[in-house]
Amino acid sequence: MSETGLLRAPREILFGAGAVDALGRVVARLGQRVLVCTDDYLAGAAPGRRTLAALRTAGLDVHMLTTAFPELPKANVEETIALARAYRPDVVVGLGGGSCIDLAKLVALGLSHPGPLDAFYGEKGVPGPVLPLVAVPTTAGTGSEVTPVAVLGDPERELKVGISSRELIPWAAVCDPVLTHGAPPHVTAYAGIDALAHAIEAYCTTRAQSVDAVADRIFTGANALTDGFALQAVELLAGGLRGALADEPAGRAATMQGSLAAGLAFGTAGTAAAHALQYPLGARTKTPHGLGVGLLLPFVMRFIMPASETRLAAVATAMGAGDTPADAIDAVRTLAHDLGLPSSLEAIGVQPEEIAPMARQAVGIDRLIRNSPRPLDAGDAEAILAAALHGDLERLDLTTPETQR
């Protein structure tokens, strides 16, 4: 039987040093009145200045909102939509990390469809096309510049919520690695390891089975068209992240191309257990998304090993780190260590009694849990978290019941 494939992406992706200087030409095709969503810091720094210069040189009418907050609280989004409405833009530009790009997606959505944000939560809530969006990432990264999802924090929900829709895929992504030059080490490390987790999880998810099964899904599972991007991302990130941390231009470029490729892979395939487990971890410890995902990733890789031996061996090869699943796990742990990530949940203040409730919350996130190549229940999630609590991979039992083989 031939393989099944599905891939969704922006209409145009411009990548390379100096790409931001062409932003005006890209945006001018979409309209005259341009709203830029960013944060205070980036507005005053080189990315904000270069973005404004590029848009103004193209003769566009530009308004910049600098209201984005990290991790995107819902009130922050609502306030920005209200400010944006007064300007009546033709096109919305998201300039920044995942928080700013996700804010731009939600502003484009809020300006196009009336209704409270919670009406759009989940995978079926967005009623139709939104204002055209152009994403300009300054971290490498969440991949949000090419994905169909925006994530926000709602104080009425224990965990962060996602809005997923084909309509939220930016019209264009303009990816200039120079915009990441000078970013502080913790921003580089957390965003970079998140990208690696996107690539590895997208490559190892349950596979898309048939055209019929994928045609209407937002996240399809690994498939013939996402696999190439996932492995390319693993290779670029494993090769580039240490250089990016040292602020070397070649490492910055490889890391941005890697996070872009990872976004193309997971934006259709989806992610899985490392992401599900990070949601309750992030909510309790208030640690950034990338820190939690990167800390948990080796433990999740060890858990899925019995179901993903061939895939994890290919990850090891792509990382240039051997050819066995254990080599892949070692290489990810070493990279996370070199990037300065904590190696245990204890180190970020998690108490043993928090493990069971976090495990229960994580397995409730069905859209991510169903992607795990080795099925996991609350007991399995607890075992993963208990091993991560002490930073001890050997605690994870690798035997699988016959029914799962």
Closest to ligand NAD by CB, 263 vs 325, is: 263
User: Among residues 130, 151, 304, 335, which is the contact residue for ligand NAD, using CB under 6 A?
Assistant: 151
Point out which span in 2-10, 118-126, 189-197, 216-224 binds Fe ion (CB under 5 A).
Answer: 189-197
Closest to ligand NAD by CB, 182 vs 349, is: 182
Closest to ligand NAD by CB, 169 vs 319, is: 169
Output Rg (C-alpha) for the chain, integer angstroms. Answer: 20
Closest to ligand NAD by CB, 282 vs 373, is: 282
Q: CA-CA distances (angstroms) from residue 84 to 40, 101, 112, 115?
A: 16, 15, 11, 15
Positive or negative torsion for Cα 317, 323, 324, 329 = negative
Q: Please state the closest distance from residue 275 (CB atom) to Fe ion, in A.
A: 6
Closest to ligand NAD by CB, 181 vs 390, is: 181
Q: Is residue 145 within the footprint of Fe ion (CB under 5 A)?
A: no
Point out which span in 66-74, 125-133, 247-255, 388-396 binds ligand NAD (CB under 6 A).
Answer: 66-74
14 touches 62 (CB < 8 A): no
User: Among residues 21, 61, 71, 346, which is the contact residue for ligand NAD, using CB under 6 A?
Assistant: 71
d(CA 171, CA 163) in angstroms, rounded, equals 17
318 touches 234 (CB < 8 A): yes
| Cα three-residue angle 240-243-248, rounded to 5 degrees | 120
CB atoms within 10 A of CB 268: 28
Residues 6+ apart with CB under 8 A from 135: 10, 93, 94, 101, 104, 144, 145, 146, 170, 172, 173, 174
Q: Please state the closest distance from residue 195 (CB atom) to Fe ion, in A.
A: 8
DSSP string, 337-393: HHTT--SSSGGGT--GGGHHHHHHHHHT-HHHHTT-SS---HHHHHHHHHHHHHT-G
| Residue 105 structure tokens | 């997606």
68 touches 80 (CB < 8 A): yes
Q: Is residue 194 within the footprint of Fe ion (CB under 5 A)?
A: yes
User: Among residues 94, 280, 290, 325, which is the contact residue for ligand NAD, using CB under 6 A?
Assistant: 290
Residue where the block lists tokens 């031939």: 2
Site map 10..49 versus ligand NAD, x via CB under 6 A: -----------------------------x-xx----x--
Closest to ligand NAD by CB, 71 vs 90, is: 71
60 touches 27 (CB < 8 A): yes
Q: Is residue 70 within the footprint of ligand NAD (CB under 6 A)?
A: yes
Residues 6+ apart with CB under 8 A from 287: 281, 348
Residue where the block lists tokens 């690696």: 196
Closest to ligand NAD by CB, 154 vs 346, is: 154
Q: Residue with CB nearest Fe ion?
A: 194
User: Among residues 93, 117, 130, 183, which is the contact residue for ligand NAD, using CB under 6 A?
Assistant: 183
* HSE-up of residue 268 (Cα within 13 Å, Cβ side): 26
Q: Please state the closest distance from residue 42 (CB atom) to ligand NAD, in A.
A: 5
Point out which span in 169-177, 182-190, 201-209, 240-248 binds ligand NAD (CB under 6 A).
Answer: 182-190
Point out which span in 5-13, 65-73, 125-133, 229-237 binds ligand NAD (CB under 6 A).
Answer: 65-73
Binding partner at 320 among Fe ion, ligand NAD, none, C-beta below 5 to 8 Å by kind: none
Point out which span in 81-89, 181-189, 304-312, 317-325 binds ligand NAD (CB under 6 A).
Answer: 181-189
* HSE-up of residue 305 (Cα within 13 Å, Cβ side): 21
28 touches 59 (CB < 8 A): yes
Q: Is residue 327 within the footprint of Fe ion (CB under 5 A)?
A: no
DSSP string, 283-300: HHH---HHHHHHHHHHHH
Q: Is residue 72 within the footprint of ligand NAD (CB under 6 A)?
A: yes
Point out which span in 75-83, 187-195, 217-225, 389-397 binds ligand NAD (CB under 6 A).
Answer: 187-195
Count the site residues for ligand NAD by CB under 6 A.
33
Residues 94-133 that bind ligand NAD (CB under 6 A): 96-100, 102
Q: Which residues bind Fe ion (CB under 5 A)?
A: 194
Q: Which residues bind ligand NAD (CB under 6 A)?
A: 39, 41-42, 47, 70-72, 96-100, 102, 138-139, 141-144, 147, 149-151, 179-180, 182-183, 187, 190-191, 194, 289-290
